[in-house]
C-alpha cells in the first residue's frame, strides 16, 4: 500500500504551516490537514486488504447500537442458527445459537497514531508526511485483517451442516489437484440444502466463488502446466495431463487466476507456520468438530497441513457493521494529536473507526487441508 501526496503549491503551503511556530497557525493547519487525510485513509482501507472482498458493509450511525434481522437471511423453516462474532478487537471469536430475530452486534474501535518532527513540515517534506499517513492507515488495516480473518477461520473450524464438516482433506499427500477442488465444490453444494435437506427453491448460493491459497499452493497450480493432474506418479492407465491449450495458457501466464470458475487469491499469511494457518490451528484446538488432514495423514496437524479457504461471495454471510460520523457518510475519523508540548517540536495525528465482524451463515465458507510438509 503506497500513499503519495501531490506536490501542489497549496499542499506544500499547508504542510509547512504544520511546522509553524505560531500556535494558532499551526493548530488551524493541523485541523485542515486532518480533515484532508480522513477520506484518503478511508479510501485506502476500503481498497487494500482481502477482508473487504469477503465482508459486506452495514452502516449505522455513530453512538447507535447496530443489529441484524437474521430472519431476512434464512429460508422459512429454520428456527435456530449459529452466528460467529467478536466482542473485542483481537479477541477470540465466539459462536452463539440464536433464533431468527433481531441480533445485536458488538463493535469495537480500531485506532492508530503517528507523529513527526515539525522541522520536516517546515521544509515541506511531503515524503515524510505521506509516510506518516501511510503508516497510520497500515496499522489500522493490519488490525482489520486480523479480526476479519479470525471470524472466518473460527466459523470454518467449528461449522458442521447436514452432519458434514466444512473442511475436506486433499486426496493425496504433498499435492493439490483439480480433483481436490472438484470435491470441495461438491461439499459446498451438499451443505447448501434447503431446511428439508432438498434442493432450495430460491438458491442464493453460487457455491465456492473464491479460493484463498498460499504461495506454495499457487506453485502447485503453476505445475499443472507440466505435471499430470491425476497423480504425482503413474497409474496403470498412465498419468493424465490437462489439455494442451490450457497447459500452454498456464505456462504463458505463470499460473492460473481461475479454475472451474473459482477465482484464486494468493495470501502470504497462509501456509505452514504462517499467521492465518496458526490462527486456524488455534480455532481447531477449541472446536468440537474433527478437521481431517490431507491424504493418509489422519486428522489436522498444523506442522504438516495447511488450510485453503473457499468462500461463496454471492451469499451475504459475512457482515461488517461500521459506524458513520454525524453529518456525513465518512467512516474514518482523523484528528490532530494534542499530546505534544512546544518543547518537543513534534506534531501528530490519530485516526480511528468503529466496526464489528460477524458471520451469520457458515455455509458460505469451506476449506481444503493440504499436506505440504
Stated pTM of the model: 0.87
Asked if residue 73 lies in contact with residue 359, where contact means CB atoms within 8 angstroms, the answer is no
Task: Decide the pairing of beta strands 164-165 and 160-161.
Answer: antiparallel
pLDDT at 73: 65
pLDDT at 100: 61
> Which cell is 358 given?
460477524
Q: In whole angstroms, what is the distance from residue 65 CA to residue 79 CA?
A: 24
DSSP letters, 72-96, are GGS-TT--EEEEEE-SSTTSPPEEE
Q: Average pLDDT of the chain?
A: 84
Q: For residue 278, what are the contacts with CB-CB under 8 A and spacing of at least 6?
A: 302
With b for 16 or more beta-carbon neighbours within 10 A and e for fewer, the 237-257 pattern comes to: eeeeebeeeebeebeeeebbe
3-state secondary structure 307-353: EEEEECCCCCCEEEEEEECCCCCCCCEEEECCCCCHHHCEEEEEEEE
pLDDT at 94: 75
pLDDT at 316: 84
pLDDT at 298: 80
Residue 367 Cα distances to 188, 308, 315, 348, 372, angstroms: 9, 5, 16, 43, 15
Residue 256 Cα distances to 40, 219, 323, angstroms: 33, 10, 38
> Which cell is 29 given?
493547519
Q: In whole angstroms, what is the distance from residue 217 CA to residue 177 CA?
A: 10
pLDDT at 9: 86
Share of the chain above pLDDT 70, in %: 86
Radius of gyration of the chain (CA): 24
Hey, how many other C-beta atoms are within 10 angstroms of the C-beta on 199? 10
pLDDT at 223: 79
Closest CA to 81 of 184, 157, 152, 159: 159
Q: For residue 131, what are the contacts with CB-CB under 8 A and spacing of at least 6?
A: none
Q: For residue 28, what are the contacts with CB-CB under 8 A and spacing of at least 6?
A: 17
Asked if residue 111 lies in contact with residue 337, where contact means CB atoms within 8 angstroms, the answer is no
What DSSP element (H or E) covers 135?
A: helix 126-158
Q: Which residues of the chain have pLDDT under 70?
A: 1-2, 71-80, 96-101, 194-206, 230-239, 244, 253-255, 296-297, 327-328
pLDDT at 368: 95
- Residue at grid coordinates 499530546: 339
Task: Decide the pairing of beta strands 56-61 and 318-324.
Answer: parallel
Asked if residue 317 lies in contact with residue 159, where contact means CB atoms within 8 angstroms, the answer is no
Asked if residue 166 lies in contact with residue 362, where contact means CB atoms within 8 angstroms, the answer is yes
Q: In whole angstroms, what is the distance from residue 372 CA to residue 305 CA?
A: 6
Amino acid at each position: 500500500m503506497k500513499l503519495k501526496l501531490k506536490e501542489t503549491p497549496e499542499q506544500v503551503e499547508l504542510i509547512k504551516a504544520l511546522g509553524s511556530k505560531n500556535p494558532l497557525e499551526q493548530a488551524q493547519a493541523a485541523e485542515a490537514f486532518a480533515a484532508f487525510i480522513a477520506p484518503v485513509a478511508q479510501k485506502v482501507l476500503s481498497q487494500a486488504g482481502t477482508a473487504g472482498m469477503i465482508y459486506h458493509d452495514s452502516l449505522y450511525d455513530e453512538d447507535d447500537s447496530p443489529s441484524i434481522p437474521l430472519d431476512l437471511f434464512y429460508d422459512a423453516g429454520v428456527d435456530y442458527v449459529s452466528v460467529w462474532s467478536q466482542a473485542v478487537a483481537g479477541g477470540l471469536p465466539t459462536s452463539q445459537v440464536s433464533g431468527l430475530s433481531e441480533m445485536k452486534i458488538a463493535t469495537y474501535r480500531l485506532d492508530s497514531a503517528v507523529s513527526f518532527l515539525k522541522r520536516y513540515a517546515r521544509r515541506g517534506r511531503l515524503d515524510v508526511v505521506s509516510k506518516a499517513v501511510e503508516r497510520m492507515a497500515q496499522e489500522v488495516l493490519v488490525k482489520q485483517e486480523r479480526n476479519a480473518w479470525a471470524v472466518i477461520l473460527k466459523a470454518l473450524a467449528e461449522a458442521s451442516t447436514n452432519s458434514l464438516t466444512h473442511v475436506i482433506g486433499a486426496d493425496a499427500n504433498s499435492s493439490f489437484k483439480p480433483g481436490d477442488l472438484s470435491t470441495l465444490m461438491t461439499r459446498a453444494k451438499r451443505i447448501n440444502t434447503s431446511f428439508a435437506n432438498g434442493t432450495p427453491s430460491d438458491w442464493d448460493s453460487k457455491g465456492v466463488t473464491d479460493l484463498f491459497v498460499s504461495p506454495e499452493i499457487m506453485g502447485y497450480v503453476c505445475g499443472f502446466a507440466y505435471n499430470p493432474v491425476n497423480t504425482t506418479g503413474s497409474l496403470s492407465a498412465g498419468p493424465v495431463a490437462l489439455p494442451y491449450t490450457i497447459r500452454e495458457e498456464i505456462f504463458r501466464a505463470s499460473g492460473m487466476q481461475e479454475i472451474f470458475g473459482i477465482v484464486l487469491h494468493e495470501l502470504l499469511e497462509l501456509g505452514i507456520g504462517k499467521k492465518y494457518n496458526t490462527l486456524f490451528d488455534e480455532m481447531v484446538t477449541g472446536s468440537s468438530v474433527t478437521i481431517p488432514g490431507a491424504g493418509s495423514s489422519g486428522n489436522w496437524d498444523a506442522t504438516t497441513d495447511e488450510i485453503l479457504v473457499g468462500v461463496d461471495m454471492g451469499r451475504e454471510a459475512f457482515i461488517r457493521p461500521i459506524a458513520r460520523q454525524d453529518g456525513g457518510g465518512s467512516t474514518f475519523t482523523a484528528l490532530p494529536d494534542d499530546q505534544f508540548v512546544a518543547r518537543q517540536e513534534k506534531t501528530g495525528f490519530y485516526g480511528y473507526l468503529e466496526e464489528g465482524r460477524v458471520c451469520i451463515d457458515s455455509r458460505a465458507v469451506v476449506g481444503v487441508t493440504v499436506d505440504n510438509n
